[in-house]
Structure 1
Amino acid sequence: MKIAFSPCPNDTFIFHAWVHGLVPGAPRLEVTYADIDVTNGLAAGPNGPDVVKISYAALPWVLSEYALLPCGGALGRGCGPLVLTAGDAGAGGPAMLSGRRVAVPGERSTAYLLFRLWVAQNVPGGVGEIVIMPFQDIMPAVRDGKIDAGLVIHEARFTYPAYGLTLLADLGGWWEAGTGLPVPLGAIIARRSLDLPSIAGWIRASLKYARAHPGASLEYVLGHAQELSPGVVNAHINLYVNEFTENLGDTGYKAVETLLGRAVREGLVPKVDLAALRR
């Protein structure tokens, strides 16, 4: 079975057991490790993987071929994307972004979708140029003055002070304050032609193994974690692997439906059958 997910600690932690043949009855995996912007493209293109991690914002483009699985993804509270500037450049608040260059981690990323919704309410006249960058390149670009601000995700939440950067806005906090819902970040999807209940069961079994044997996956996780310290890796896992990872539940589904429903109304994504998210 072909699968694609990011090399981020939450994904490698969740899938370690399945990748290493530790889930009874699960098929052998052929893994592609790639940034979320790449996996979004793989799912939308021809001959995509059987199972793939994508941004929730990318779901409208793939729901005809793929089903949203109720487990394995990244959705939570206190874990949303951040808007960062260098030094005190953001002292003027969100208005300082008007007409400026901002780097974002993918055109169809959930972070960028949240950013566009936030900008519509908070930045008069909108930003200037949007620059697409791999997420790991964004903070150095802001630090070095190549761009005016950066939208960051993942472990950047823990590491941005080391780059001398300043928090301009926490889009997760903005979303939660306005909706009362967790932030939908990354989804696990599988081809509708496959045995979806079994795949969900294998993911949950892999997650259960990871939680029962937290040290077993450490070498594998660190090997893909782009030079992160064990402390940052553990903080990343503790934040992004949570109750919604095992089961989206009604709250999780409502969060996704709210995000995509708002995006459709704003004309930011194609129309989508929200009922299809649960089947």
Structure 2
Amino acid sequence: MKNSIFKTFLLLMVPFGILAQESDSLTAQIQLKTSVEATTVPLNREVVYHIQLSWLGELDRYRIVDVGEPAVSNLELQSSGSVNKIYTNPDGRNYSLKRISFYFKPLGMGMAYIDGVSIQYEDAETGHKGTLIAQRLGVKITDPVQETNGSDIGKNIIIAAAVLFLLVVLFSVYRYFQQRNKAQSAQQAQPTLEEKYLEELHRNINPSAETVGQNVLRLSKLLNSYLTDKLHIDSTLPEEELGQRLQNAGARAEIVEKLAAFNKKAELNKFAGEDMETADFHLFYDTVEQLLNELNKERAVVTG
């Protein structure tokens, strides 16, 4: 008797176990997820609530019964909408998604709640029906935030325009100084007139050479050429005028006097054949070199 009762109990339990396994398998194929976009929302902003259903297969695999408006507290429904999407997994199978969104207006500060929803579905292939249940969600409603009005937008535009104008001015000033520095660098890279004549003096005239007469002619020619290029004059000017021109250009009176003496002896050497002492030539060579160096420094000070 006991054996027959036990066998009967087993026969009754087997179908229930099969149904339970089948229900779990089918439920696992379609998934429900609910969420809110923010768990803390200001009083003057919207609470956005999403219901998302997803499954493997085409969009028409499952028929979803109309979800309807969820029960809420401290909230008021403003609008709702839904979207359907389909994706392809890396293994080539389709993955479907149905998303329903609700937009609520908070009614007061404190906690607001969206009750759990139950969604009924039907498998279009097998005819199986089931229900998915979501949990209750809470949202904290906080103090309202300041609204941006038209006057604020106008102020922001004015501020942005002023900042942009200031940036343009600063960039223009930067470009001006950059170009000026480039021009000064290019100018400094070019040798000055004095530097050119100093190089020629050192290259073409050797104070230690025995032919003092030839050196006197070269030095006199170099000095006349420099005065012509620098002051548009030559050493044949009257001594007083020549000295005044040189001093105006920055030459010291001592150097001017030495150059005047050199011109006199150079004229005697050229026209009367009177030789110049080697020591005198060295003195005049140094005087011309000193003149070029001092006027070159004077030019650098004026330019800087």
Flag the structure with larger Rg: 2
Larger relative helix fraction? 2
Structure 1 and Structure 2 fold alike (TM over 0.5): no
What range describes the TM-score normalised by the shorter chain of this pair?
under 0.3
Larger relative strand fraction? 2
When the two structures are superposed, what TM-score results if normalisation uses the length of structure 1? 0.21
When the two structures are superposed, what TM-score results if normalisation uses the length of structure 2? 0.20
